[in-house]
A and B are shown apart, each in its own frame.
Chain A
């Protein structure tokens, strides 16, 4: 299978195999008017299998969202056919308005326009806790 080189755009590499549809949806890639290629189950020396998303346009990406969903992703920014920037994502220390606190006793369940903020409590076990009530985030988005 041959997928063309990108002149200006973004390549999301090292996506955990099977996660590309979720990332496609979260980043609202269906709203873009450029070429987008999603490659699933590509062979990878490092990961065995991986997904890749190629976006034919440089767009603003919320790295916190991406890092939270799949912290192993590599973001490659391509300009004029050359690699302009590479960033390996890790779990962000804080995530805002990505996870919702499920604790009915939490102030975030009632306070007007209060942003949903979670802090990384345990990087090894990927545990996030609500900054208001310390409740553990139940599941990823």
Chain B
């Protein structure tokens, strides 16, 4: 049984094949429109999400499949105290594949042990979000044509920003990749990402608190939101939420072929005025996410096209 819990489970070859499938879906959507007929995707979202849940649902519908599930824990048996393990085992009796978002880190791994069907981690707390990374990778590939020779700036909440952790893990496997990690002191990348991923793979990186000082070096700028739901203390959130705001003014110092990415939702860390800049890629990421989720569902369900 294959699952996707952590982006590290996918080899470079796996990612290349997923990208090939996604590109083929983009070119030939008609070929894929019925391939998951009579298959059901369960979306178990114990935490609110618009983008990821709808993206999974749209992906399954575009493959001709069906969708069932819930979008908040209050409307699930978790509200009655049921364990993740039991919920997954139950849902595995109804669905062919599960996409799970849960506020507790490691919940999808627990689910994968009992579900009896493939489980996709659709975000577990501040830990991992591998399908967002797949969306990011397709975006990088379509914008840059390659994953090599890139300087990637990650800016904002790098402590709880699970999309950043997964992206760093995924990109650290390619050649001549460098990272510029821009965050307030309190929201720096966790130590284990630096030691186990960056340093273990000899990836050059610098840490900085200044976006302005570094924007000119970057091929990709990956902005993130400071997430209210990750803070135990509201005062800390309010103090840090506006640490970085990308504006057209700041973009003047950037390369002409910079790609500005953001996992969305955005609050105010990217000015709306940036949306019309050709370097803004964050809405392309949304679309790419659906294609990569389609490719992933096909892979995990072992559907041949």
Contact at A105–B85, with CB atoms within 8 Å? no
Contact with B along A126-137 (1 / 0, CB 8 A): 000111111010
Q: Does B212 contact A (CB under 8 A)?
A: no
Q: Does A112 contact B (CB under 8 A)?
A: yes
Contact at B192–A103, with CB atoms within 8 Å? no
Set A114, A122, A129, A136: member contacting B110, Cβ < 8 A: A114
Set B102, B103, B106, B107: member contacting A130, Cβ < 8 A: B106
Q: Does B153 contact A (CB under 8 A)?
A: no
Q: Does B126 contact A (CB under 8 A)?
A: yes
Number of interface residues of A (CB under 8 A): 19
Contact at A121–B106, with CB atoms within 8 Å? no
- For A112, the chain B residues whose CB sits under 8 A away are 83, 85
Contact at B192–A110, with CB atoms within 8 Å? no
Contact at B83–A129, with CB atoms within 8 Å? no
Contact at A136–B106, with CB atoms within 8 Å? no
Q: Does B34 contact A (CB under 8 A)?
A: no
**Interface range on chain B (Cβ under 8 Å from partner):** 10 to 19
Set A105, A129, A136: member contacting B104, Cβ < 8 A: A105
Contact at A132–B109, with CB atoms within 8 Å? yes
Set A106, A129, A131, A132: member contacting B192, Cβ < 8 A: A129
Q: How far is the CA of A107 from the CA of B125 in the complex (A)?
A: 10
Contact at B195–A132, with CB atoms within 8 Å? no
Sample of 17 more A-B contacts, CB < 8 Å, known A107-B106, A133-B106, A134-B192: A105-B104, A106-B105, A107-B102, A107-B104, A108-B106, A109-B104, A110-B104, A111-B110, A114-B85, A121-B192, A122-B195, A129-B192, A132-B107, A132-B109, A132-B110, A133-B105, A134-B105
Point out residues on B near A: beta carbons under 8 Å. Answer: 83-85, 102-107, 109-110, 124-127, 191-192, 195-196
6 smallest beta-carbon distances between A and B, as pairs: A132-B106, A133-B105, A107-B104, A107-B106, A107-B107, A112-B83
